[in-house]
C-alpha cells in the first residue's frame, strides 16, 4: 500500500471543527483528569487541539448514571472536549453515550478499543473488542444510532490498537468497520494488546491505516517532542498525533508544537521552570477538591516522569553518567518527600541547589514506558492473561 506523505499538515477537521494544532492529549486513566488537563492547557497557552476524558466505564452499571462518574467532570474552557467510554455491551454503551451527550454536550463521543488491562480487555472490553470485531461493529452501530435517535448530532470517534497480538493485526479491518458505521476520526495506538506499553509503537501500521482511510487518522505512540510529532505527521500521513506519556514528561509539548507550526521561535524550558510546575499542579489539584495525600500522589507521578528530562548536556543527545546522576538525585529528592508540602519545599531549594545547572530536555527520551530509556524490547507483559 502506498504511504502518503503529509508535508505540511498542521490542522485537521473533525466534521466542522477545525483542530489546531493537530494534537490530542491522549487519555490516561488516573492521570489526565481535569487538573492535569488544566496544567497542560495553561503551560501550552491553551493551544492543545482536542481534549478528552479518561475512559468512562459502562459495563458495571445495569443502568448508566452519568452522575456516578467523576471522569465526566470538565470545564467549559476545555472545549472542544470529547468523552471516551468503554464496555462490551452494545446496549449499555449506547445508553451511556446518549445520556452523556444529553447531559454534557461534549463535542464528540469516543469508543475505546485499546485498553490492555486484564480486568478490561480480559473481559472483552477495550482492546478485547479487537478479538471480536462483530461486537465492535455492533457497539459502534448502536452508539451511533442512539446518538442520532436522541438528536445528538455529534461525531463518534474510535481509539484502538493495531490488533490483539502480532499474529492477529486487524487495524485495517477495524478501520473499514469504523468507516462503515459512521465513525468520523480514528486514533491508532501502534501497539498490540499483548505488547501493553512495551517496545515502540509500530508506525508502519498507523501509516497504512492513514493511507487507506477516508476519515482523519490520528497516530499515537511514543511522540515526545516537536521533532518527533513533525516527523510522524510528515512521514506517516496522519492527520495529527495523540500524545500521552510524552505530556507527563513535558506538559508544555502542545504549546511547543503550536509555536513550531506557527514558525515562532522554540521556547526553551529551563529546569527551574520545570520545577515550578509542581506548585501550579498542586494548586489545581487542591482547587479541584483533591485531598493533600491525593495531590501528593499526583505530584510524585509527575515528578517521576518530568525529572527524566533533566540533564547537564544542553544540546541533548546521550546524557553522560554525571548528568544522569545529578538528574537522578533531583528525582529521588522529590520522590522521597514525606508529604506534598515537603515535595514543594524541596522543589524550591533544588532550583537554587542541585538542579541549578540542569537543563530540561525531555525530547532525548526514546522509550517512555519507564524502562531504561534506550532499551527497545518487544514485551509480552500480558501473555497468558
Ligand X SMILES: Cc1cc2nc3c(=O)[nH]c(=O)nc-3n(C[C@H](O)[C@H](O)[C@H](O)COP(=O)(O)O)c2cc1C
Q: Which residue numbers are catalytic?
A: 115
Cβ closer to ligand X: 53 or 337?
Answer: 53
Contacts 24+ apart (CB under 8 A), 179-183: 179/213, 179/214, 179/215, 180/137, 181/137, 181/140, 181/141, 181/144, 181/156, 182/140, 182/144, 182/156, 183/140, 183/144, 183/156, 183/157, 183/158, 183/215
**219 makes contact with ligand X (CB under 6 A):** no
Phi-psi region of 108 (alpha: psi -120 to 50; beta: other; left: phi over 0): beta
Q: Closest approach of Cβ 110 to ligand X, in Å?
A: 8
**C-alpha grid cell for residue 378?**
518487544
**C-alpha grid cell for residue 183?**
465513525
Cβ closer to ligand X: 49 or 246?
Answer: 246
Q: How many CB atoms lie within 10 A of CB 66?
A: 15
**245 makes contact with ligand X (CB under 6 A):** yes
Cβ closer to ligand X: 189 or 193?
Answer: 189
Determine contact, residues 165/192, Cβ cutoff 8 Å.
yes
Among 98, 144, 189, 298, binds ligand X (CB under 6 A): 189
Q: Candidates 26-34, 87-95, 229-237, 341-349: pick the segment binding ligand X (CB under 6 A).
A: 26-34
Q: Closest approach of Cβ 189 to ligand X, in Å?
A: 4
Among 146, 206, 257, 368, binds ligand X (CB under 6 A): 368
Residue nearest to ligand X (CB): 244
Q: Candidates 5-13, 108-116, 141-149, 283-291: pick the segment binding ligand X (CB under 6 A).
A: 108-116
Q: Candidates 111-119, 229-237, 269-277, 278-286: pick the segment binding ligand X (CB under 6 A).
A: 111-119
Cβ closer to ligand X: 19 or 243?
Answer: 243
Q: What residues contact residue 332 under an 8 Å CB cut-off, 6+ apart?
A: none
Pick out residues in 122-161 that bind ligand X (CB under 6 A): 159
**C-alpha grid cell for residue 192?**
498490540
**106 makes contact with ligand X (CB under 6 A):** no
Spatial distance between the Cα atoms of 161 and 149, rounded to a whole number of angstroms: 29
Cβ closer to ligand X: 137 or 224?
Answer: 224
Amino acid at each position: 500500500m502506498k504511504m502518503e506523505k503529509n508535508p505540511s499538515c498542521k490542522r485537521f477537521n473533525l466534521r466542522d471543527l477545525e483542530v489546531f494544532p493537530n494534537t490530542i492529549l491522549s487519555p490516561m486513566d488516573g492521570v489526565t483528569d481535569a487538573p492535569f488537563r488544566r496544567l497542560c492547557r495553561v503551560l501550552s497557552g491553551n493551544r492543545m487541539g482536542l481534549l478528552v476524558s479518561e475512559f468512562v466505564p459502562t459495563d458495571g452499571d445495569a443502568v448508566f448514571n452519568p452522575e456516578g462518574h467523576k471522569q465526566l467532570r470538565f470545564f467549559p474552557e476545555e472545549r472542544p472536549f470529547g468523552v471516551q467510554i468503554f464496555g462490551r455491551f452494545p446496549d449499555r454503551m449506547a445508553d451511556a453515550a446518549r445520556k452523556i451527550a444529553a447531559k454534557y454536550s461534549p463535542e464528540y463521543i469516543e469508543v475505546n478499543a485499546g485498553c490492555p488491562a486484564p480486568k478490561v480487555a480480559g473481559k472483552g472490553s477495550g482492546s478485547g473488542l479487537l478479538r471480536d470485531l462483530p461486537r465492535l461493529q455492533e457497539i459502534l452501530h448502536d452508539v451511533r444510532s442512539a446518538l442520532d435517535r436522541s438528536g445528538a448530532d455529534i461525531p463518534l470517534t474510535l481509539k484502538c490498537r493495531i490488533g490483539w497480538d502480532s499474529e492477529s493485526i486487524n487495524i485495517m479491518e477495524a478501520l473499514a468497520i469504523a468507516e462503515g458505521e459512521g465513525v468520523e476520526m480514528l486514533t491508532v495506538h501502534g501497539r498490540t494488546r499483548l505488547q501493553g506499553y512495551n517496545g515502540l509503537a509500530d508506525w508502519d501500521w498507523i501509516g497504512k491505516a492513514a493511507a487507506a482511510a477516508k476519515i482523519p487518522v490520528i497516530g499515537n505512540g511514543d511522540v515526545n517532542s516537536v521533532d518527533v510529532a513533525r516527523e510522524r505527521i510528515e512521514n506517516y500521513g496522519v492527520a495529527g498525533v495523540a500524545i500521552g506519556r510524552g505530556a507527563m514528561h513535558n506538559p508544555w509539548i502542545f504549546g511547543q508544537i503550536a509555536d513550531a507550526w506557527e514558525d515562532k521561535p522554540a521556547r526553551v524550558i529551563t529546569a527551574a521552570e520545570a520545577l515550578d510546575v509542581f506548585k501550579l499542579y498542586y494548586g489545581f489539584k487542591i482547587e479541584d477538591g483533591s485531598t493533600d495525600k491525593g495531590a501528593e500522589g499526583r505530584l510524585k507521578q509527575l515528578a517521576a516522569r518530568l525529572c527524566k528530562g533533566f540533564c547537564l548536556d544542553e544540546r541533548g543527545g546521550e546524557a553522560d553518567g554525571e548528568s544522569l546522576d545529578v538528574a537522578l538525585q533531583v528525582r529521588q529528592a522529590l520522590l522521597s518527600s514525606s508529604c506534598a508540602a515537603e515535595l514543594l519545599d524541596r522543589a524550591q531549594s533544588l532550583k537554587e541547589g542541585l538542579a541549578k545547572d540542569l537543563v530540561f530536555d525531555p525530547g532525548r527520551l526514546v522509550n517512555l514506558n519507564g524502562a531504561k530509556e534506550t532499551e527497545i524490547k518487544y514485551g509480552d507483559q500480558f501473555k497468558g492473561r
